[in-house]
Amino acid sequence: MQRFEIVVVGAGPAGIAAAVSAAESGAQVCVLDAGAAPGGQIWRGGAERHSRTAARWATRLRQGQQISVQQNTQVVAPLAAGELLVERPDGPQSIGYDRLILATGARELLLPFPGWTLPGVTGVGGLQALIKGGVPIKGRRVVVAGSGPLLLAVAAGLRRSGAEVRLIAEQSDWARLLAFGAQLPLDPARLLQALRLRATLGRTAYRAGCWVEQAHGAEQLEAVTLRHGAQRWREPCEQLACGFGLVPNSELAATLGCAINAGAVVVDYAQQTSVSGILAAGEVAGIAGVEAALAEGAIAGYIAAGRPAQAQPLLARRAAARRFARRLEHTFALRAELRQLASAQTIVCRCEDVHYAALAEHPSWRSAKIHTRCGMGPCQGRICGAATSVLFGWTPESIRPPVAPVALATLITTSSAHSINLEEHV
Amino acid sequence: MAKVNVVINGRPISVAAGSSVAAALALAGVTATRRSITGAARAPVCGIGVCYECRVTINGQAHRLSCQVACAEGMQVVTDAAL
Ligand SMILES: Cc1cc2nc3c(=O)[nH]c(=O)nc-3n(C[C@H](O)[C@H](O)[C@H](O)COP(=O)(O)OP(=O)(O)OC[C@H]3O[C@@H](n4cnc5c(N)ncnc54)[C@H](O)[C@@H]3O)c2cc1C
């Protein structure tokens, strides 16, 4: 087993800032990340290729004398106290830590509607990530739908990649968007960002108070039905990117015993979780964007390295970023109609093909899981758990390790520490 | 641009180095990665290795995530849909 003073899980902006701040304070640091290169979601494919800020952080990470960065490394379960089980392409391994910083980020909230399982329907950030991996999009007709600022950022990227963006359908209405927009000019950096987006998006249609009711096609997406007030129409397209914001990846934190509230890891002013020696930073501790992730990561790094004075100057930046995030959350709150889109036969749990009607009769996630196998497939409820919490108000409970499907060899390693039900997780 | 050669459902294709297996599938015109338990065609959704819809068999190893794995020279990829 390798052992480090500080282990950081996740190499997105929060994890990078945490590792760099801790190492520059003199600690021995190890970063474990499932991806192929540091950067997380926003700096996917290597931070150097993105903004100047991203490149600066990436350089500090690379040049860190006391940082061991381990990519393609998925943390699957806690072993004994102060020890994690990780899975790598070459097999399982255990990593020890004195202090742990969780920076596991977030995933998209995907909501079921008739046809959402058709090939051609993806998340919004999901489509962006697939394109960065080389999936061709040039000349394809795309509808971008759902909610939040990511719709605009991704639509602009799609345009640059040569896609034909037919429409951006934002479910929130103009009243909320304008109330939000009216405050933007106060912040020059964000105004500039907005202007750049406008320039790229040009005449791309943007409708607020508009959402996808249905996706059509036999084996592949052919069109979507859009709804805008009383109006309803069919829009032909090969691709639908539809996402309703983000949900924290708090499963690993939950298996470590950290308190969770509304899906996010609970942290104090110093980014410490309810478990002593475990900190959390970035979107795992609440959806607040890249600036909050960087500030929280740096604070967590300094605190874990025993340098609280260094964290002090970052508190104001964190507070500002979180205030902005709260306004975003209000602006893009989900409308009630979205909970009514699934029909009785719409599949909600994509892994086990459990449809809406089979779930609606259950009082809780636990009951649905036991009786229908909802959430028991390989995604382990990451997609349908978040969806059913919106649809039915359920809270997924009793997270059990491992937090990702693992190879049998890895599982045997964990089973010796915990008693795990093999059948359920293989 | 550097290329790598992979084989998808028995047919060779050459793609840009660094492409994901999901990208190679799309370039080869394979739109579905797997069949759901009731037989429906499925394809990549989340793009970040969370939803497991993109799983395929790579070099004989089942349940690999095509959106997360980069193409390597000579890689053999088989989708459910082809079975
Ligand atoms: C698909 C997607 C696309 C996005 N695109 C944009 C965008 O274009 N612009 C924008 O402003 N915001 C975007 N966001 C929002 C983005 O989440 C934040 O802006 C920012 O990246 C959050 O930083 P973070 O460090 O908290 O988490 P992330 O960037 O999500 O980083 C978390 C890292 O932890 C790793 N990880 C998670 N669990 C484990 C584990 N168990 N073991 C090992 N590693 C693990 C992940 O692989 C990831 O690399 C996107 C979000 C998603 C989900």
Ligand 1, residue A86: give the atom nearest the CA: 42
User: What domains lie within chain B, and their CATH numbers?
Assistant: 3-82 (3.10.20.740)
Q: If you measure from the C-alpha of residue A106 to the centroid of ligand 1, how many angstroms do you get, rounded to a whole number?
A: 5
Inform me whether the C-beta atom of residue A373 falls under 8 Å from chain B C-beta atoms.
Answer: no
User: How confident is the model over A180-198, as pLDDT tens digits?
Assistant: 776 665 566 666 676 667 7
Q: What is the mean pLDDT of residues A263-286?
A: 97
* Interface mutation target, options A130, A347, A373, chain B, most CBs of B under 10 Å: A130
User: Tell me, what amino acid is at A253?
Assistant: A
Inform me whether the C-beta atom of residue A118 falls under 8 Å from chain B C-beta atoms.
Answer: yes
Q: Looking at beta carbons, which pairs linking A197-201 to residues 24 or more positions away fall under 8 Å? A: A197/A152, A197/A153, A197/A156, A200/A156, A200/A159, A200/A160, A201/A152, A201/A155, A201/A156, A201/A159, A201/A165, A201/A168
- A114 CB near ligand 1 (under 6 Å): no
Helical axes A174-181 vs A315-331, angle rounded to 10°: 160
CATH topology of domain A112-243: FAD/NAD(P)-binding domain (3.50.50)
Inform me whether the C-beta atom of residue B44 falls under 8 Å from chain A C-beta atoms.
Answer: yes
The shortest CB-CB distance from A135 to any of B26, B48, B52 is to B26
CB–CB contacts below 8 A, A to B: 107
pTM for the whole structure: 0.93
A71-104 b/e (C-beta count within 10 Å ≥ 16 → b): ebbbbbbbbeeebbbbbeeeebbbbbbebbbbbb
- A69 CB near ligand 1 (under 6 Å): no
Inform me whether the C-beta atom of residue B17 falls under 8 Å from chain A C-beta atoms.
Answer: no
Domain A2-107+247-328 class, CATH top level: alpha beta
Same fold, A2-107+247-328 and A112-243: yes
User: Tell me, what amino acid is at A222?
Assistant: E
User: How confident is the model over A148-178, as pLDDT tens digits?
Assistant: 999 999 999 999 999 999 999 999 998 888 8
pLDDT of A200 > 90? The answer is: no
Of A85 and A194, which is predicted with more confidence? A85
- A245 CB near ligand 1 (under 6 Å): no
Please list the ranges in chain B whose pLDDT falls under 50: none
Domain coordinates in residue numbering, chain A: 2-107+247-328, 112-243, 337-392
